[in-house]
A and B are shown apart, each in its own frame.
Chain A
């Protein structure tokens, strides 16, 4: 039987792609490969990671230009099959700009680039992205962003709330995000966008291991 495989998308300006590969392959023994943004061939992949970075130099708005890549175009069909997609940091920005997820990400309220560990509360169990057996509903992950303030209007917030689409919230909101939101899901639960970096928390020796479950969950049903 072929081993399940995760595709890591590389845009011009992505810079967390190799971190994700290190976490998947090195820490979790999950098969993975890089996919250039100009490819539309997602066959043989069981899940996709849109990594962090500065795709297309963050020109116009973060994630705005990546949306027009061949890969994002073919991601629509991939998502329909129910396979999982995670967008981390810039990947989250791309998912909102492309319409896979609601809302938008804008400049942090205090204008600082925030590079820090944050405490997050797990809100939704949709998509099984988090360990349901664990009693700990608080996890620690690092954030590193200048434009990570999640914004949505009240109507969207109500939709997120009513459909259980808020995946994680900040305990101490660092960037001014609406309703402390740090990560959200699509209605099916198979698309997850978050500003914190689970791939930087996959080894206790450096940064903790709370990110492991999230990356492993890419291959859960």
Chain B
């Protein structure tokens, strides 16, 4: 078995309004940082998992993202891999 570290980021789809992101954007202006054109909040999930091969790990991560981490009605996801045994 190989050990993999995976970072999954989940974002609201562009068509979905993110009022919390808008509130933070407005606070950025109050801090004196202007010209922030867009600001949206997402989630970051760090996973450490074991799998036979990378393809097997990808399959597991895809299942997790698709069925649990993200609700595809409102969210998109992407992930990056790091093989800890290399």
Chain A interfacial positions (CB closer than 8 Å to B): 60-61, 64, 68, 96-97, 102-104, 106-111, 151-153, 176
Question: Quick check: B73 and A103 within 8 Å, CB to CB?
Answer: yes
CB neighbours (8 Å) of B69 from chain A are: 60
Kindly state the separation between the CA atoms of A97 and B23 in the bound complex, as whole angstroms. 26
Kindly state the separation between the CA atoms of A200 and B15 in the bound complex, as whole angstroms. 34
CB neighbours (8 Å) of B15 from chain A are: 153
Q: Is the contact region of chain A dominated by helix, strand, or loop, or is it mixed?
A: loop
Question: Quick check: A64 and B71 within 8 Å, CB to CB?
Answer: yes
Chain B interfacial positions (CB closer than 8 Å to A): 12, 15-17, 19-20, 23, 68-69, 71, 73-74
Question: Quick check: B20 and A107 within 8 Å, CB to CB?
Answer: yes
Kindly state the separation between the CA atoms of A104 and B19 in the bound complex, as whole angstroms. 16
CB neighbours (8 Å) of A152 from chain B are: 73
CB neighbours (8 Å) of A102 from chain B are: 73
Closest-CB distance, B63 to chain A (whole angstroms): 13
Question: Quick check: B73 and A104 within 8 Å, CB to CB?
Answer: yes
Closest 4 CB pairs of A and B: A104-B73, A104-B74, A111-B19, A104-B71
Kindly state the separation between the CA atoms of A96 and B71 in the bound complex, as whole angstroms. 10
Report 19 cross-chain contacts, Cβ distance below 8 Å, ordered by A residue: A60-B69, A61-B71, A64-B68, A64-B71, A68-B68, A96-B73, A97-B71, A102-B73, A104-B71, A104-B73, A104-B74, A106-B74, A107-B20, A109-B17, A111-B19, A111-B23, A151-B73, A151-B74, A176-B19
Partner of A60, one of B16, B19, B68, B74: B68
- Choose among A61, A68, A96, A111 the residue with the greatest number of B CB atoms under 10 Å from its CB: A61
Summed over the interface, the residue pairs from A and B with CB atoms below 8 Å come to a total of 33
Kindly state the separation between the CA atoms of A106 and B16 in the bound complex, as whole angstroms. 9
CB neighbours (8 Å) of B73 from chain A are: 96, 102-104, 151-153
CB neighbours (8 Å) of A111 from chain B are: 19-20, 23
Kindly state the separation between the CA atoms of A212 and B66 in the bound complex, as whole angstroms. 39
Closest-CB distance, B17 to chain A (whole angstroms): 7
CB neighbours (8 Å) of A97 from chain B are: 71
